Structure 1
Amino acid sequence: MSTIAEFRIPAADTTLEATFDRLPELRVELEAVVSRSQPCLWIADAERSAVDAALADDPSVGTYDLLVETSDRLLYDVTFVPDADTLWDRLLADGGSLLEGWGTDGWWQARVRYRDREALCRAHDRLADRGIGVDLRRVTDVTPGAPSTTRLTGEQEEALEAALERGYFEIPREISMEELADELGISHQALSERLRRAYETLVNEEIQPVGESET
């Protein structure tokens, strides 16, 4: 039985504290790449010049290189100085798999899959032993083959499946929302609303599993 853990860790104990302090609206998302030992960073809610200046002055950053620039996000290849405690080094040392990681408002958050709770405990203790303030926010045991249900409507499922199949979630996108809406025979506004409600439903299911009463 594998275990999924959700962590919250202050940037002050790891990396990019100075960058978050300088750009308080900044949002950073980790993009894991199989061929790399560490993720690249998607950065949003800041101008490129401001991000470049912040990374250049951040004492935890060794080098940085802009790989992709879109209308609303920047993808950087960032390496950190040798003595920096990178979030993924400590969390993944026992074979954990990074499912999702992001940073905002001076905090890093991550969802990691471990083969069992013992591996999770070792990762948590490793952070604590380093003096890193780790907040273990949620732990979920995953049983193979367990049945799953969802509150998504048929229209929401159709929109998500089409978006996935046609490359709407790829970086860069392989199809625009307007083109996808045309293929589905609905308006741009209708598709946007279906996807938004689908995202909201999926997030709520993560917070409150199906079968629990809503408050």
Structure 2
Amino acid sequence: MSVIAEFKVPAEALALSETLEQTPEMIVEIERVVAHDDDRVMPYFWGRGGDYTEFEAAIDNDPSTQSVMKLDEYEDGTLYRAEWTQNIESIVYAYLEVGATILEATGRTDNWELRMRFDTEDLVADFRNYCREKNIPYELLRLYHPSEPKGGGQYGLSPK
């Protein structure tokens, strides 16, 4: 049975920590992370709540990112896609190492809150060991088995 784990990690344990520090009013919500065979990580993420010009300038100078692209702009947020550099040893590579899935990730100035799915409890232990070996700090907030399936209904879609 799969396991859901909720974590809190310091901002510097994930990419964009310098960006979040320079734009404290912004919140980053990762929508989807795409991992490539050559260990490149390309997340889609929303920026919300602050000065987008400052935010984009900070992203351009953030050593954890390269090739940031603005995809969509709306009144309540902007969608970006970025490539994270390989020189950061972060919690992202820990999740890739064990094959977990990031379900939610929200970044603020001082921390990231993550909700991840692991196929088995053993993979949670592998994740913990990887983080320990690489000195990646995290705080486990909650660990549980999903109580009900999440199908198309979670997005308001009808069966047709």
**2:3 is equivalent to residue 3 of structure 1:** yes
Q: Is the 8 A contact 1:91 1:124 kept in 2?
A: no
1:14 Cα deviation from its structure 2 partner: 2.7
CA distance in 2, matches of 1:143, 1:67: 35
Q: Is the 8 A contact 2:17 2:109 kept in 1?
A: no
CA distance in 1, matches of 2:66, 2:21: 18
Count of residue pairs the alignment pairs up: 148
Superimposed CA distance per residue, residues 148-177 of structure 1 (whole angstroms, 9 cap, x where no aligned partner): xxxxxxxxxxxxx7x8248xxxxxxxxxxx
* More helix as a share of residues: 1
Counterpart residue number, 2:38: none
Q: Is the 8 A contact 1:92 1:123 kept in 2?
A: no
> Looking at CA atoms only, which structure, 1 or 2, has the larger radius of gyration?
1
**2:24 is equivalent to residue 24 of structure 1:** yes
5+ residue gaps, structure 2: 36-41
1:25-174 aligned at under 5 Å gives the runs 25-32=25-32, 36-37=34-35, 38-142=42-146, 164-165=156-157
CA distance in 1, matches of 2:103, 2:13: 21
5+ residue gaps, structure 1: 146-160, 167-215
TM-score relative to the length of structure 1: 0.62
Q: Is the 8 A contact 1:3 1:141 kept in 2?
A: yes
1:87 Cα deviation from its structure 2 partner: 3.5
1:60 Cα deviation from its structure 2 partner: 1.5
Summarize the Cα distance change of 1:144–1:13 in structure 2 as closer, same or farther, 3 Å threshold.
closer
Poorly superposed stretches of 4+, deviation over 6 Å: none
Summarize the Cα distance change of 1:67–1:86 in structure 2 as closer, same or farther, 3 Å threshold.
farther
Q: Give the % identical residues.
A: 26
